[in-house]
Structure 1
Amino acid sequence: MSRSVKIQSSETQIEVYEFGDGIFNKHHITHTEEIKPFLEVNHKFWLNLYGLENDILLKEIGEIFEIHPLTLEDIKNTSQRPKFEEFEENIFIVSKMIYYKNKSHEPITEQISILFGKNYIISIQENPFDIFDPIRSRLENPTGKMRKLGTDYFAYTLLDTIVDKYFDCLEHAVEKIETLEDHIISQSKNTKLPDIFHQRKTIQQIKRTVWPTRELLSAWKKSESPLVKKKTNPFINDVYEHVIEIIENLEIQRESISALVELFMSNLSLKQNEVMKTLTIIATIFIPLTFIAGVYGMNFEFMPELGWKYGYLVIWIFFLGSTLGMMYYFKKKKWF
């Protein structure tokens, strides 16, 4: 016999939104027993759950909505690939949300599980961070499509919101790449090769998340489930095209990263050439000076110039003259 489970953890919260023509109510659930009456209503409702720590709670929800045990395991296993699975009474979707929290430099990936039946939609998130506020605002609109169309359209809006976040992450990555490019061109010492490779790793992380979403939407487009209405197909195609656009842009950014590596190495090579040129000029200037100093540094007894009164002065005049002469020549040739 099923029993009511009290939601005690502050990390686990359940909200239920009733909606339909002329209906919109929000409920904060404290016991799973409070969910059962919603199954008897004629209008639709959305159950949104934060947190996966309470296994008993998830099991109780699974019993209420007759969720397959393997589906519950997929919900708790947050390393799942995005996928689309059809059952007789409902459709299960695993999606991945990517976002930057508190201006973090690292993208955060979170699994969102979506389950929808004839009159209900369940969304289960790992963390309290929520991107579905625009959906709540749309639900409040009594003339909006979300009130009138089916649960498959509602599931589409959830996925559409998640995909919109992909665009935000892509924009963040593009800005970072442009910043790296500007620093490399300006020869900033703050930019290092590991920074470029780190950004490439971020691009790959986003791509690994977005690519399976394409397969998810492709499976949805081919679905023959009675829960998927033909009216929703144009919207799914639109999200599918958005995902394709994101993947193409990620490929462009990956190529940009490769170009940045080449630019960085070319810049580094130019710097090394400048250093070698400077050292070569200095060495060239000192060659005649070293030669003269070496000749007169020999310990032969009979060297005529050693007894000359103006010998020391003449040597210094030669040193300075040859140095200035070579510097003038190098300057004329624009070698420095």
Structure 2
Amino acid sequence: MTSLTLTRGATDTRTARATGRRTAWVPTLVLILGALYCLVPIAWVVIAATKSRSELFSTFTFAPGSGLLDNLHDLSTYRDGIYWQWMANSAFYAGLGALLSATVSAAGGYALGRFAFRGREFVFKLMLAGVLVPGIVLAVPQYLLMSELDLADSYWSMLLPSILSPYGVYLMRVYASAAVPAELLEAARMDGAGEFRIFTRIAVPMMMPGLITVFLFQFVGIWNNFLLPYVMLADDTKFPLTLGLYTLLAQGASQPALYTLVIMGCLLAVLPLIGLFLVIQRFWSLDLLSGSIKS
């Protein structure tokens, strides 16, 4: 009786494994299709950037062209290299804005997650409400506010709206509550450490994976932001890449030669984001590994 039961159990296990293998191709196929959907446009930009203007408009193929260096030279010399000014502006807006946003999110999330004070839940729910508000709704009020402060068409008009991220504060509150033990903070206080030192020396290192996530989200969001600079900026020397490439594309209707510059500019605009993801992925792995070792 026992041997018969074991035999039936083994048979059921083999049947379940075979069924699992037969159905595993469905999610795999969905992931492959999703990857193709995301990567094919990028592959087309890479190939199109190598084509000269005649090659770009004559045929639509994925064969590389012969105009890569010429397109890069024309883009670099267009209006005395204004594209690289746009690139520097985007790096400044995204880098400094994401760094300030991560700092504010860390402080706000840590305070909401590890301090009990009157009105804490109200503030937290207010931040959650801010997550639900789309950025397009805030663009015009932010412009009016910056105009009243005489900051419109300035670098501050791009930086100040990017500092506070409701989603970043929410994420850091959740992360601080889960990753920073209250017992460790109490032990530091008993040893005479001040709150600022506890935050910078104990809480921030333990919250680093969450901080990197907030920095990455903010950097990508600011780098790809189009509406805010479109509303705030009038001087094209202050434009980020998104708005600068848009102006080139708009001029391409009357000057078709600019289309190759736009495509080359789009390719170069993607490269910093790819490099950022590769670098930050390394820090993610190190932080998670160090956290598992400490635990």
Band the TM-score falls in, shorter-chain normalisation: under 0.3
TM normalised by structure 1 equals: 0.22
Superposition TM-score, scaled by structure 2 size:
0.24
Determine which structure has more spread, i.e. the larger CA radius of gyration.
Answer: 1
